């Protein structure tokens, strides 16, 4: 009886095939278990919510975001980064943009800047970990958000970039609701850093809705409750710098219910989820497409003569006999028959071909 070592089924070639198939299967399984939502098509609004990281090579979109954030938030526009492009590269996975596409290309209509923290929806824990807005948006915080995530999404800033949208009833609320419902199930809470505009923190009474600012009412309509006041939380690095928003901050709190639903109604949308491997491949393809690198549509191979004219003719029986004598790592036996021989072709056949 042949041993398993000498069996024809166990050899270097088959072993490599089995190992490659096992690696591919394991990679596919890991990719499926790590899928996450990357975008959402808003079916009624004819717009799409995409991550900023997926738009980083759309130069016109990044330029519009850059200008819009700078006009709205001044020194806090890019949340610790130098530009929208750098923010997209370093923190774009948790920053969402609502995009409208037409014949002229994509147009950014709104953006919500978020990060993840593991504070269990407790605003006091968030304040203890990050005593001011600059600490909350430091590079180290973004790295922790990217690598470790958390059960709480921090909605840092919501900005509409189109005059057609009004924050509270248009693009702002649509974007907020879509983003909340795109977050993974592991995120159970959301806290906002809403600036107190046109008032002071002393004038805010959580029990009296008439004292709420317009931004507080915007979140209240989405199902959030005021939970914490932070006087002087959002002071720029240069205290003399002018900003169009208040320096006091109120944290509004969202929470999923027992069934895992957010109080903010999910808009009609189709979501797309990808695994890390598939996402990396698609992102590489998108980058090459935007840079103008395209695969050839057809391979142009050199013309070849008819294969049976003046070329070796293979004898199947002779070839099979020779292959049976071949062993990996050894030369064929000396008495192995010739694998191919040239057959004479009648002149009439050549004339018929030509």
pLDDT tens digits, one per residue of 180-239: 999 999 999 999 999 999 888 899 999 999 999 999 999 999 999 999 999 999 999 888
Q: How confident is the model at residue 353 (pLDDT cuts 50, 70, 90)?
A: very low
Report d(CA 198, CA 175) in Å as an integer: 24
Question: Under DSSP, is residue 174 helix (H, G, I), strand (E, B) or coil?
Answer: helix
CATH number of the 35-290 domain: 3.40.630.30
pLDDT reading at 343 higher than 50: no
Per-residue pLDDT tens over the stretch 92-138: 999 999 999 888 888 999 999 999 999 999 999 999 999 999 999 99
pLDDT digits (tens, 9 = 90+) for 307-341: 544 545 555 555 556 556 655 554 555 554 444 44
pLDDT at position 150 is 96
Give the helix/strand (H/E) hosting 23: helix 12-33
Q: Round to whole Å and give the CA distance between 81 and 239.
A: 18
DSSP class of residue 105?
A: E
- Among residues 220, 145, 216, 155, the alpha carbon closest in space to that of 182 is found at 155
Question: pTM of the full predicted structure?
Answer: 0.69
- For the chain, domain boundaries: 35-290, 313-353
């Amino acid at each position: 009886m042949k041993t398993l070592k000498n069996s024809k089924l166990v050899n270097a070639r088959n072993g490599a095939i089995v190992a490659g198939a096992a690696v591919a299967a394991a990679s596919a399984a890991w990719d499926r278990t790590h899928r996450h939502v990357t975008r959402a098509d808003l079916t009624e609004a004819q717009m799409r919510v995409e991550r900023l990281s997926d738009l980083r090579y759309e130069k016109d979109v990044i330029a519009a975001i850059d200008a819009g954030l700078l006009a709205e938030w001044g020194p806090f526009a890019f949340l610790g980064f130098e530009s929208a492009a750098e923010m997209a590269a370093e923190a774009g996975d948790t920053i969402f943009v609502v995009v409208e596409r037409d014949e002229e290309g994509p147009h950014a209509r709104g953006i919500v800047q978020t990060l993840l923290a593991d504070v269990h929806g407790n605003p006091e824990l968030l304040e203890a970990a990050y005593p001011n807005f600059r600490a909350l948006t430091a590079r180290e915080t973004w790295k922790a958000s990217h690598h470790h995530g958390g059960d709480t999404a921090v909605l840092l800033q919501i900005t509409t970039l189109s005059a057609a949208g009004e924050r509270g009833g248009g693009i702002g609320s649509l974007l907020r609701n879509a983003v909340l419902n795109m977050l993974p199930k592991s995120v159970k809470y959301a806290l906002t850093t809403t600036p107190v505009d046109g008032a002071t923190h002393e004038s805010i009474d959580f029990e009296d809705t008439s004292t709420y600012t317009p931004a507080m009412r915007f979140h209240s309509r989405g199902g959030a409750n005021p939970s914490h006041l932070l006087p002087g939380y959002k002071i720029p690095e240069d205290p003399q710098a002018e900003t169009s928003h208040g320096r006091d901050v109120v944290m509004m709190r969202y929470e999923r219910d027992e069934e895992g639903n957010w109080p903010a109604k999910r808009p009609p949308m189709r979501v797309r989820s990808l695994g890390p491997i598939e996402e990396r491949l698609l992102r590489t393809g998108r980058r090459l497409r935007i840079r103008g690198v395209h695969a050839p549509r057809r391979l142009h191979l050199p013309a070849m003569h008819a294969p049976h004219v003046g070329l070796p003719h293979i004898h199947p029986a002779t070839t099979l006999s020779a292959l049976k004598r071949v062993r990996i790592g050894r030369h064929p036996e000396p008495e192995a028959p010739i694998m191919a021989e040239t057959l004479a072709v009648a002149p009439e056949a050549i004339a018929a071909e030509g």
